Structure 1
């Protein structure tokens, strides 16, 4: 047990020595900074803090990484060190090119699979580089199928539970040249991925690990595995759309795990390769399914009422029970539309605000709040406005 504990400790240390750990965190910070710049361009104010993207990159994956650690500690999914290198290279290429929408485990695994099938190790004139190529063609495709299935399932869980939080409101131009609202989801998650390496001084036992991939001794590695997601939604509310998208990805991952288990028990790598191919094609299909380009805009200007595009955190509106996608039809008794401006109606009572709200189910309710001298002119709501390029405050 002392040997196992020491090997696990070395694996954990490797996570903090891996450059991809810090590149992913820096990437999340840069995503946050670009989002804040867009917020100021569209609304002349910041919606969410720049460091929120870093928090979302790390915090949700800590519990998930710990759960995967415990699961794989018993399963024993084993890949050569050379395969972890190709996984890191694929993730790094997608990161530095900014294509985080394709930073899915289903696409990251394309390079390791092709390397295992077609790459022949060669003398690179350096002993370290030569050692990095060892075992690249001996990887178990059954293990890869199970691994990519579990990772895609985790990706789906993250999309369903995390991608819809603190989405970024945006103003975009429609095909007809009108300004419409949309919500952008950009996430970069850093998953601590616990894996077995088929080398080391940890001996296998008769009952451990549960899955036998032909190895008798192991070492452990905690690999930083970035998972990216980006989507621009203009045709629907962001939260239910993300839940649907996430469930579909999670089901795809679960199906791949089932096929991977079948390939393991049948000892048939062709079934495993078919499972890997299906998850790649299926993930691309889900991307295409949720494009929503030809669907009508949900966040647009209306003849009567204003659709809430965003709510500033900590604002008076945030302290009320308002939600993105609801329609404000009246302010202080004045119906919006037909020349009645939100700001004008708000000024009707500088000390108090009463809103008539049409919720997402089409039901009317009332919200009210006392205002103070420093907040009577800004409630903290973001709307779609055609004159966004004029020099005026967009957050009312």
Structure 2
């Protein structure tokens, strides 16, 4: 289905005035509450309050100096974790508005979804998982939960941000149920165990790990995919990792390129790139809205629990768009993530993370305050988790500074 016909199909859902929330949306006034009870705000719903707590957190601010694909020294116009997060939140709100969901919860989950990312993007995460393999591994989604429930220490009465149950549920079940009805880990955790942060928090609060999350959480998850694809295309083009004409190898991108060139022949390169990116986002968003409306119509959910117990995702791409999106990802993998220039930097930053972990684990007294408090009573696994938490919270720049403090041969990323 082309972009034009999709626009007609979803137009009724795209009203610009205030809309009544659907019965299957998460009602902020029926929240299951917070782990530590607090008086309700007289001016904000629980989800608006959660959004504000996330925005004001230290972990959120640090996202501005954490790698998306390109490390900070490579230019000021490439995405960081922060700008990616803001773009995801915009798409998530758009989807939520069209589907009559709670926009604040969708935005809140989008803003929180990358709080647990390490410095240096996925390379940092991969190395951290490698270092933590003997101690339960590392997963950035689980680390995001750890950040908002433990590591943020700002409030007088509790650790973490004390977010609403629905926010924590959507954050931890980012990609669907984590366990079967019998409690067996699913997906990438199948045959092993859930990450430490999730297992640890489950002792305090049951987040319903065997069901799907709310439609708002599903909207935030698919918004992440849409933003990731479109903006890595943008950054990859602007970085010169591939040429615009190479996108003709991907039918989805080829059709967009043909549309832009037909309407704007001779358009300058920077505007041509932007037109391709914006049309890519529009087509994907409109497809998700159209497909989700179809699924919701078939399911006919009356409550948010009908969404949780549907047994499948209800906010998603159509089968056709899902196949196209996979083609885009394969193209990005080959042209961007595996480009020799990107791989060269990844190799250097991997060494930084690996060196820092090994040094702090061997000599934990080198950890700065307050991370070096109470070391005497920690076992090896607890010590490794302390080091992991410290490094995972670092920005790219701070990780490089810490490496220079501890080593004489810090790599030059330039």
Shorter-chain TM range is 0.3 to 0.5
The structure richer in strand per residue is 1
TM-score, length of structure 2 as denominator length: 0.34
Which protein shows a greater Rg? Answer: 1
TM-score, length of structure 1 as denominator length: 0.35
* Structure possessing the higher relative contact order (Cα contacts under 8 Å, 6 or more residues apart): 2
The structure richer in helix per residue is 2
